[in-house]
């Protein structure tokens, strides 16, 4: 019989952040469960600053507030697309950023993640192993927020799988 393990929402939130950033060799993600603090230790000031600017500083789960700290972080980038580029550069989950001129608005940037299924343990009662299976773009939307104006999260596809010319 399968053992059912349940996790708190804040623990799952840490796991999402770790799934998105934890493979990057420049980042170490740590969760201080007693104080509800997710710490991202980042090599490189530009990357650290970019991550700090795209992640929320806090996330509320009922009566529990999780704080997100990025260490170190002290420089700014030029545009939001630059922030995402700096934040994910070198991360194996990341493919590229494509910016195009918007027809009636400012430029539109697509943050494109690798086409891979990401699995991590969570209290998913719909999975016998307690795993969540998702895409990097969905995790980015969950922890960074919904797509903001001019920035969209996408999943990479093979050229032969598109109708692009």
Q: Please state, in angstroms and as integers, the Cα–Cα distance from residue 35 to each residue in 21, 52, 93, 140, following that order.
A: 21, 19, 28, 24
- Taking 60 as the threshold, does the pLDDT of residue 129 lie above it? yes
Nearest-CA neighbor of 135 among 157, 118, 147?
Answer: 118
Percent of the chain with pLDDT over 70: 84
pLDDT tens per residue, range 2-12: 677 788 999 99
pTM, two decimal places: 0.59
pLDDT tens per residue, range 16-43: 999 999 999 989 999 988 899 999 989 8
- Taking 90 as the threshold, does the pLDDT of residue 96 lie above it? yes
Give residue limits of the domains in the chain.
9-155
CA distance 48 to 69: 10
How far, rounded to the nearest angstrom, does the alpha carbon of residue 64 sit from its chain's CA centroid?
21
143 pLDDT band, cuts 50/70/90, is confident
- Taking 80 as the threshold, does the pLDDT of residue 124 lie above it? no
pLDDT (0 to 100) of residue 75: 43
């Amino acid at each position: 019989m399968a053992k059912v393990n349940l996790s708190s929402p804040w623990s799952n939130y840490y796991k999402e952040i770790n799934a998105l950033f934890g493979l990057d060799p420049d980042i170490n993600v740590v969760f201080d469960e007693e104080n509800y603090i997710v710490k991202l230790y980042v090599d490189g000031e530009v990357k650290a600053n970019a991550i700090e600017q795209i992640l929320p500083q806090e996330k509320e789960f009922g009566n529990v507030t999780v704080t997100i700290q990025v260490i170190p972080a002290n420089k700014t980038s030029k545009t939001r697309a630059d922030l995402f580029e700096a934040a994910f550069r070198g991360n194996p989950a990341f493919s590229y950023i494509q910016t195009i001129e918007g027809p009636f608005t400012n430029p539109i940037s697509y943050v494109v993640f690798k086409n891979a299924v990401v699995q991590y343990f969570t209290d998913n009662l719909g999975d016998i192993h307690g795993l969540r299976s998702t895409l990097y773009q969905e995790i980015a939307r969950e922890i960074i927020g919904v797509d903001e104006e001019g920035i969209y999260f996408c999943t990479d596809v093979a050229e032969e799988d598109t109708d692009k010319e």
